[in-house]
Structure 1
Amino acid sequence: MKKFVMAALGGTLAGAVLTTQVAGPLIAQQADKQSSVYEQLDLFGDIFERIRAQYVEEVESAELIEAAINGMLTSLDPHSSYLPPKDFDDMQVQTRGEFGGLGIEVTQEEGFVKVVSPIDDTPADEAGIEAGDFITHVDGESVLGLTLDGAVELMRGPVGSEIVITVVRSGIDEPFDVTITRDTIKLTAVRSRVEGETVVLRVTTFNDQTYPNLKQKLEESIEELGGMDNVNGIVLDLRNNPGGLLTQAIKVSDAFLNAGEIVSTRGRNPQDSDRYNAVDGDLSDGKPMVVLINGGSASASEIVAGALQDHRRAIVVGTKSFGKGSVQTVMPLRGNGAMRLTTARYYTPSGRSIQALGVSPDIVVPQPPRVPVTEEETDADTPRTRSEADLRGSLSNDSMTDDERKQAEEEQAKAAEAAKLREEDYQLAYAVDLLKGLSALETSD
C-alpha cells in the first residue's frame, strides 16, 4: 500500500512537471507574441509622430491614419479596402442602381488598373473599352503606384466632363488613348428580348433589383411568345457582369432550380461557413438553358454559372470567366466609414473553388473581334451564291400550296435574321442555335 501511494504521488508529481514543461513554453510564447504586437504598435506610433513633426510639409493626422488603415487592408488582397464616408455612400448608391461615372468595373493587377468589365450602354461601353484592358494613365497621369481607390478617384468627375484614359490591350502592340465623357450611370439590372422562340435574359449586375427584374422580364417574354409551350429555351447572358450581391446571385440561381445546393461559403473558422440551397419552383418549367459567360463575368455571375453548370441545368457557353471566388463583407465603422474585408471563399455545389481559375464553359466559343466597317465595304462587294432558281428557264415548284410557299418565305426570313445575329453577336447566335437544335431533337422524339 505504501508503495502504491508513493507510486501515485510520483505519477502526480511527474504529471505536474510535464504540465509545467509543456504549458510553460506555450504561455511564454503567447506572451512574446503579445509583446511583439505592442512593440509594433509602439513603432507605428513613433513613425506617426515623426511624420507629423518632421515631414517637409504639414499633413493632416486623419489623412495619415486613413492611409495607414487602407494600406493595412489592401496589403491582404485586391478586394479588401477601407471605405471613407463618401466612398461608402457611393457604394450604397451603386447597389441601388444609379451613380455617376464611366461605367466600368475595375480591379488592380501589377500596379495597373484592370478592367473587369464595361457596363452595358455606358460611356465606357460605347467608347469600346473591353474586359481585360489595362488602364495605365488618366489624363496623362500614371496610375502606377496608386491604390485602386486612388486610381478610381482620378477617373471620377462632374457629369458631362471629358476624361482621356490610356489603354493597353492584348493583341495591340502600342498603348492608345480613349476619350470618354462622364455620365450618370443608370443600371438596368435585367433586359430581355425574344430571338425566334428563345427568351434572352441579359443580366448586367446583381443589385437589389436583379431578381425582381428577372422574374418580371421572363414573364413578359413568355407572354410575348404566347405561353410557355411556345418557348424552346432560355439564354441567361452573364457576359461582362462584374457581380454584386451574393443574396441576388442565390435568388437568380434558385429561379431555375428545384432543389440542391447553390453555393457554400467557408470562412477561417468552421462556424463561419454557410450553405445555401434551392427551394422548389423553377420559373422556366425546366426549359433548356444556355448560360453565356466571358472574361468579364465575375463573382456573383460565377456563382450562378457554376451552380447551373454543376446541376446540369444549363449548358455554359463562351470563354473562361474572371475567377473571383472570394466573399467580401462590408462592415460599417465609427465615423460613417466602412471596411470591406474578404471573409470567406465560395464553392460551387460540386465543391470546386473558382478562385483565380474561373468557370470553364462546357463549349468554348470565342467572340470574334469587332471589325469596323469601312465606307468602301458595300453589299456589292460580297459575292452572291447562285441557286437553281437563278438559272434562266428553271422550272417552278408547282407542288407547293400558297400556305407552304408562305411558310417557306417565313423560314427564309428567320434564316436571314439568324445570319444577321451571327454578324452582330456570334456567341449569342450560337446559344440560340444550340437551343433551336435541342428543340428540334425533342420534337422529333
Structure 2
Amino acid sequence: MQIVSFLSTQGRRMRYAALPFICGAVIAGLAIPTLTIAQSGKNDAVYRQLGLFGDIFQRVRESYVDEVDDKDLVEAAINGMLTSLDPHSSFLNNDHFSDMQVQTKGKFGGLGIEITMEDGVIKIVSPIDDTPAAEAGLQPEDLIIAVNDEPIRGMTLSDAVDRLRGEVGSSVTVTIKRGAKDPFDVTLKRDTIKIRSVRAKMFDGIGYLRITTFSEQTTPGLTKEVDKMFREHGQDLKGFILDLRNNPGGLLNEAISVSDAFLEKGEIVSTRGRRAENASRAYARPGDIANGLPLVVLINSGSASASEIVAGALKDHRRAVLLGTRSFGKGSVQTVIPVSGNSAMRLTTARYYTPSGVSIQATGISPDIEVALARIETLDGGDTREEDLKGALDNAKDGKEGEPANAEKPDVTPATDQSKIDYQLARALDLIRGVSIFTDVKSGS
C-alpha cells in the first residue's frame, strides 16, 4: 500500500509539473501545433479502439447463444487486458481482493499452493507447509493440467483459482503432470490454511529457522525464535540455518525486514520501474539478531519473489552461504491498486535488483554451493571396521574390559530427526559445524 500511495503522489506531482511546461509552450509559439497534432492523433487511435470494444461488447450481449451478465463480461475484458501483459498482472474483483487481504494476514482458505500460469497450464511454485497440498505430496514445478476433469488450458489464472477454491471440507481432484511421467490424479480436501510463517528447531547447537511465507507475522516470529534460542543456549550456539525452500514469497516490506535483521548496513534491494524517478532503494540498519554467527540459507526452485530478495541480499553482502539449487526467478514487483467498487488491479510496476545490481527476473538466485534435493537412506551392510570383525580384541582401558567389539549400540537418533533424511539440511549443518571447528581452532592458536 505504500507503493500505491507513492505512485499516487507522483501522479499529483506530474499534474502540477505539467503547468509550467504548458506555459512555456505558449511562449515558444511554434511548438504548439506539432505537439497538439501528435497528441490528437494518438488519442484518436485510442478512441477508435475503445469504439471497437464497445461494438463487440454490444454484439456479444445481443447475439451470444446464452444470455451473459454485463458485469462478468466487463470484468473478463479487464482481466484479459491485464493478463496479456504478464502472468502476474490481473484484476481482483470484490471476492478476490478480500481473499488477498486475508492471505497477507496469514490465514485463508484453500489447498495451500502458490501457483502461476505457464504455457496455458498452472505451474506450482511451491506447496505451503502443513497444508492439504503439502500433505498430498505436490511438488514445485508440478503442472496442474485439469481440475475435476476439466482441462485448464484456455482458462485465465483467476478462472483456475476459482475452480481450485471452494468450501472448507469439500474435495477437489487435480490432474498433475510431473516431468516426463504420465499424468496422475490427486484428490485434495480443502481446508482453512493457517500459516505459521516461522518454525524453529535446534540441531546440536545450530539454530534452524524455516520461513514458509512472508506475511505480517514473519519478522516478529523470526525475532522471537532467535531471542529464545539465545536465552536457552547462549554461548553454545554455533550458527543458524535459514530455510527458504519452497517459500513462494509474500510481502515486500517483510522481505526487507528479514534481510535487515541479519545485516548491519548496506543496500538490501532496489526496484526500478518504467520511470527513473520512481526507482526506490531499501537499506539495512545497524543490528544483527544472529550476533554475527555463521548463517547458511537453503534455497531451491520453489524459493520465489520475497525469498529471492532475502537470499540475494545476504549473498551479495557475504553475510550467508547459499546452499541448494537455483531459485524460481520471479523478480517483478506487483502493486495492488484499489479501484472503484471495492475491487483492485494487481499490476507489475517494477523489477527487483539485488545489491550488486543483478535482476532476479527469469534468472533467479544461484547458490554458492549446489546441492541437489535428495533423501538420505541407510544402505544394507554399512561401514566395516576392526571392531566388527569376528574375534576382534577388546579395547581394554585402565585394566577394565571393554564392551564386546560387535555389541549392538542403541540408536540415539529419533526416527523423526529431519537432519538424518534431508540431504540439503544435513550438508548445511556440516558446513556450520566445519566453520565452528575452524573458528575454535583459530581462536585457540
TM-score range, shorter chain: 0.7 to 0.9
2:177 equivalent among 148, 160, 168? 168
1:387 equivalent among 361, 385, 388? 385
Q: How does 1:283-432 map to 2 (within 5 A)?
A: 283-368=289-374, 382-399=380-397, 421=418, 423-432=420-429
1:127 equivalent among 131, 136, 143? 136
Residue 130 of structure 1 and its aligned partner are, at CA, apart by: 0.2
Residue 347 of structure 1 and its aligned partner are, at CA, apart by: 0.6
**Secondary structure class of the residue paired with 1:396:** coil
Quote the residue 1:260 is aligned against: 266
**Secondary structure class of the residue paired with 1:82:** strand
* Residue 55 in structure 1 maps to residue 59 in structure 2: no
Residue 280 of structure 1 and its aligned partner are, at CA, apart by: 0.3
Percent identity of paired positions between Structure 1 and Structure 2: 54
Change in CA separation of 1:59 and 1:369 when aligned onto 2, cut-off 3 Å = farther
Change in CA separation of 1:51 and 1:392 when aligned onto 2, cut-off 3 Å = closer
2:200 equivalent among 188, 192, 201? 192
**Secondary structure class of the residue paired with 2:241:** strand
Bigger radius of gyration: 1
Q: How does 1:219-258 map to 2 (within 5 A)?
A: 219-224=227-232, 226-227=233-234, 229-258=235-264
Query: For structure 1, which runs of at least 5 residues remain unmatched after alignment?
Result: 1-18, 372-378, 406-410
Letter in 1 for 2:425: L
Residue 423 of structure 1 and its aligned partner are, at CA, apart by: 4.6
Residue 395 of structure 1 and its aligned partner are, at CA, apart by: 3.5
Counterparts of 2:182 and 2:129, CA distance in 1: 26
**Secondary structure class of the residue paired with 2:269:** strand
**Secondary structure class of the residue paired with 2:341:** helix
Counterparts of 1:420 and 1:91, CA distance in 2: 35
Change in CA separation of 1:419 and 1:315 when aligned onto 2, cut-off 3 Å = farther
**Secondary structure class of the residue paired with 1:335:** coil
* Residue 281 in structure 1 maps to residue 287 in structure 2: yes
Conserved in 2, the CA contact under 8 Å of 1:104 and 1:118?
A: yes
Quote the residue 2:87 is aligned against: 78
Residue 398 of structure 1 and its aligned partner are, at CA, apart by: 4.0
Residue 386 of structure 1 and its aligned partner are, at CA, apart by: 3.3
1:142 equivalent among 135, 143, 151? 151
Residue 222 of structure 1 and its aligned partner are, at CA, apart by: 2.5
Counterparts of 1:412 and 1:270, CA distance in 2: 65
Residue 152 of structure 1 and its aligned partner are, at CA, apart by: 0.8
Counterparts of 2:69 and 2:45, CA distance in 1: 28
- The farther-off stretch of 343-352 and 155-164 is 155-164
Conserved in 2, the CA contact under 8 Å of 1:199 and 1:222?
A: no
* Residue 105 in structure 1 maps to residue 114 in structure 2: yes
Residue 53 of structure 1 and its aligned partner are, at CA, apart by: 1.8
- The farther-off stretch of 125-134 and 266-275 is 266-275
Letter in 1 for 2:40: A
* Residue 433 in structure 1 maps to residue 441 in structure 2: no
Query: For structure 2, which runs of at least 5 residues remain unmatched after alignment?
Result: 1-27, 404-408
Counterparts of 2:104 and 2:154, CA distance in 1: 28
Letter in 2 for 1:273: A
Conserved in 2, the CA contact under 8 Å of 1:192 and 1:221?
A: no
Conserved in 1, the CA contact under 8 Å of 2:375 and 2:423?
A: no
Counterparts of 2:417 and 2:255, CA distance in 1: 32
- Deviation sequence 1:225-283 (CA, Å, 0-9, x none): x20x2111110000000000000000000000000000011111122111100000000
Letter in 2 for 1:214: L
Residue 20 of structure 1 and its aligned partner are, at CA, apart by: 8.4
C-alpha RMSD of matched pairs (Å) = 2.6
- Deviation sequence 1:81-114 (CA, Å, 0-9, x none): 1000111111111111111111100000000000
Counterparts of 1:384 and 1:298, CA distance in 2: 39
Conserved in 1, the CA contact under 8 Å of 2:337 and 2:346?
A: yes
Conserved in 2, the CA contact under 8 Å of 1:193 and 1:221?
A: no
Conserved in 1, the CA contact under 8 Å of 2:132 and 2:189?
A: yes
Residue 48 of structure 1 and its aligned partner are, at CA, apart by: 1.3
Counterparts of 1:370 and 1:98, CA distance in 2: 34
**Secondary structure class of the residue paired with 2:103:** helix
Counterparts of 1:249 and 1:420, CA distance in 2: 29
- When normalised by structure 1's length, the TM-score is 0.87
Residue 128 of structure 1 and its aligned partner are, at CA, apart by: 0.6
**Secondary structure class of the residue paired with 2:172:** strand
- When normalised by structure 2's length, the TM-score is 0.87
Quote the residue 1:45 is aligned against: 54
- Deviation sequence 1:350-377 (CA, Å, 0-9, x none): 0000100000111110102699xxxxxx
Counterparts of 1:164 and 1:300, CA distance in 2: 30
**Secondary structure class of the residue paired with 1:239:** coil
Letter in 1 for 2:84: S
Quote the residue 1:375 is aligned against: none
Change in CA separation of 1:142 and 1:396 when aligned onto 2, cut-off 3 Å = same
Counterparts of 1:316 and 1:149, CA distance in 2: 34
Conserved in 2, the CA contact under 8 Å of 1:202 and 1:238?
A: yes
Counterparts of 1:26 and 1:104, CA distance in 2: 51
1:65 equivalent among 69, 74, 87? 74
Change in CA separation of 1:401 and 1:444 when aligned onto 2, cut-off 3 Å = farther
Residue 435 of structure 1 and its aligned partner are, at CA, apart by: 0.4
Change in CA separation of 1:58 and 1:233 when aligned onto 2, cut-off 3 Å = same
Residue 388 of structure 1 and its aligned partner are, at CA, apart by: 2.1
1:207 equivalent among 202, 209, 215? 215
Letter in 1 for 2:184: F
Counterparts of 1:400 and 1:246, CA distance in 2: 63
* Residue 218 in structure 1 maps to residue 226 in structure 2: yes
- Deviation sequence 1:270-297 (CA, Å, 0-9, x none): 2211110000000001111100000000
Counterparts of 1:144 and 1:136, CA distance in 2: 7
